[in-house]
Amino acid sequence: MSANEEKKDYRFLIVDDRTQMLTMIRGMLKAGGYKKIACADTAREALRIIKKYPVDFIIADWHMPNMTGIELLTVIRKDPAYCDIPFLMITGEMTKEKVVYALEEGVDGYLIKPISQNQVITAVRNILHEKSYPGSTRYRIKKLRHLELRKKYDEAVTLAQEILKKDENPEAFLVLSKCYLHKKDYKNATKYAQKVLKIKKDSRALHLLGKIYMAQEKYDEAIEYLNQSSEINPLNLARKIEIGKVYLKLGLRDEAAETFRTVEESETTDLNRVDMGAAYLSHGHVTKAGEYLEQTADPIPETVVVFNKYAIELRKLEQYKESLKQYKKCLRIEPESYILHYNLGRAYFEMQKYGEARKALEDALRLKPDHEESKKLLAHVKSKT
């Protein structure tokens, strides 16, 4: 395939909340010979496009409302279906803290505004060249992460050990540690996380050690490592939220609340609010959970499970009006979810609104005809009418 044919085949997605930037970057790519270009003005819309159409390369702005470019990167890198998509970040400034955060989340490159056509095309070509060279360590590390995300831990361990025979790569050590943590081999998980720290002071390794100690219910050590991780990478608010989760697990609500207050003093996003809400929800603090979940402006499909759980808890408390509001919010995001239609039907049934319950349950069965709970409840609803 010629270079020009390759350019025609690559499918780009540009993500920026400003129309001017979308138009400018699109023009740069077209001038560079790339023709298949989609645009999104929010990270949420970008996720919808990625799931609907094949995307070969993402160029995103860092700062966007509700969900940032770095959060978009994080979500993508955690999904085995999309984790390999090359990602170029555009930002107005690149402080040391931002560099740490972006690299740790797996960015392939970044450019600082103002940007030129030559900078964009050169960055794109370099990243694509690296992706297409299977012999490179970077390529093999991506494959390694992919195996771990797909829960193929034994294969990942084998590949990691092959990589480490030639190169004591910290990324390979990290994935190896994660795999052993999944396998509940805490001794090896600790060993390989500490090997990373002998090479460099890495917040991911510290965070991993925190999780390893949490899994062993050694909470004092867990908090110590999680705090160290957050100090190195303070922009990653999810790390700080995790400290609050440990406090909640220990029943230290005041300490958890104080930790979450410090998070709110930063540039909090919808994902941060959902994370804090979910933390309270998992410990039965429904009212506190609601304080965060109600603030979210533009939830994404990945967070629907939290809002569904919140709605269930509200229904149990007989706060039906609020419960219905949450179910309907979820259905706007995931209209084809049979379980959401079932839960909505159950709420209507408990409210004795049998007509609405029947419609919701019929919708659930339209989506999943063999769902036994929907069948049983629908039969009960029909008996009432």
Question: Which CATH number fits the domain that encloses residue 288?
Answer: 1.25.40
Instruction: Please give the distance of CA 47 from its chain centroid, rounded to a whole number.
Output: 11
Q: Are residues 251 and 338 in the same domain?
A: no
- pLDDT tens-digit map of 56-78: 999 999 999 889 999 999 999 99
Choosing from 293, 321, 341, the residue where a domain stops is 293
Q: Please tell me what DSSP assigns to residue 302.
A: G
Q: How far is CA 94 from CA 63, 101, 103, in A?
A: 12, 10, 12
Position 205 in a domain: no
Domain range for 239 is 234-293
Q: Minimal CA–CA distance to 124: which of 111, 105, 137, 141?
A: 111
Q: Are residues 84 and 8 in the same domain?
A: yes
- pLDDT tens-digit map of 228-281: 999 999 999 999 999 999 999 999 999 999 999 999 999 899 999 999 999 999
**Assessment of whether the complete model's pTM goes beyond 0.85:** yes
Compute the distance between CA of residue 111 and CA of residue 115 in angstroms, rounded to an integer: 7
Q: Which two tokens stand for residue 209?
A: 């050690």
Contact 72, 60 (CB under 8 A): yes
Position 249 in a domain: yes
Choosing from 73, 101, 131, the residue where a domain stops is 131
- pLDDT tens-digit map of 2-50: 455 455 589 999 999 999 999 999 999 999 999 999 999 999 999 999 9
Edge-first strand order for the sheet with 36-40 is: 36-40, 11-15, 57-61, 87-91, 109-112
Position 226 in a domain: no
Q: Are residues 61 and 35 in the same domain?
A: yes
Overall domain count for the chain: 3
- Give the angle 260-261-264 at the CA atoms, nearest 5°: 90
Q: Are residues 280 and 305 in the same domain?
A: no
Q: Are residues 317 and 350 in the same domain?
A: yes
